């Protein structure tokens, strides 16, 4: 299975390409009023309002830097209502693509309760890479607020 590798706070993570719709450069986002800090804002993507989640804030506790390498990864997000929604993930550095077999990923032994989107890990020549599971990115109450009142993916 093909993955993109991203780096945040000196750690590498992998996100399956199959869930990615498009990767776009960072643009200014319109903030959501009173949203949690890790909700970076709203993106106008081809006339559609797309919520963007700051992965750096979730992983490192700080906002993603606005660099030339910062990207918004648009994914098909499978929500609890069994519909698919477009969601953006803000990431500072996409370093490469790599193919890993699913059995290569193993349980890391600890699952932080506040980060259910962190999945299994794999070892490669660059170290330990942890898988990002986008289906667990949003807590149910926030998912309902951000997604269920908008159109699903066409």
User: What does the pLDDT look like over 45-67, one tens digit per residue?
Assistant: 999 899 999 999 999 999 988 88
Does some domain include residue 152?
A: no
Q: Residue 127 belongs to a domain with what CATH number?
A: 2.40.50.180
Does some domain include residue 35?
A: yes
Is residue 90 within 8 Å of residue 28, measured between CB atoms? no
Does some domain include residue 153?
A: no
User: What sign does the dihedral 96-78-111-62 (CA atoms) show?
Assistant: positive
User: What does the pLDDT look like over 139-153, one tens digit per residue?
Assistant: 888 888 888 655 545
Does some domain include residue 33?
A: yes
Domain that holds residue 73: 2-147
User: What does the pLDDT look like over 93-110, one tens digit per residue?
Assistant: 888 898 988 778 999 999
**Count of domains forming the chain:** 1
Pairwise CA distance, residues 72 & 68, whole Å: 12
pLDDT of residue 18: 93
């Amino acid at each position: 299975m093909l993955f993109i590798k991203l780096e945040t706070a000196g750690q590498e993570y992998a996100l399956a390409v199959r869930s990615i719709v498009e990767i776009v450069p960072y643009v200014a986002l319109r903030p959501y009023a009173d949203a949690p800090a890790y909700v970076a804002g709203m993106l106008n993507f081809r006339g559609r309002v797309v919520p963007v989640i700051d992965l750096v804030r979730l992983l490192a506790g700080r906002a993603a830097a606005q660099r030339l390498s910062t990207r918004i990864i648009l994914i098909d997000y499978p929500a609890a209502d069994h519909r698919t929604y477009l969601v953006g993930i803000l990431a500072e550095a996409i370093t490469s693509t790599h193919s890993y077999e699913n059995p290569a990923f193993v349980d890391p032994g600890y699952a932080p309760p506040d980060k259910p989107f962190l999945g299994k890990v794999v070892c490669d020549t660059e170290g330990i890479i942890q898988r990002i599971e986008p289906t667990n990115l949003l807590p149910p109450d926030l998912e309902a607020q951000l997604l269920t009142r908008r159109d699903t993916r066409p």
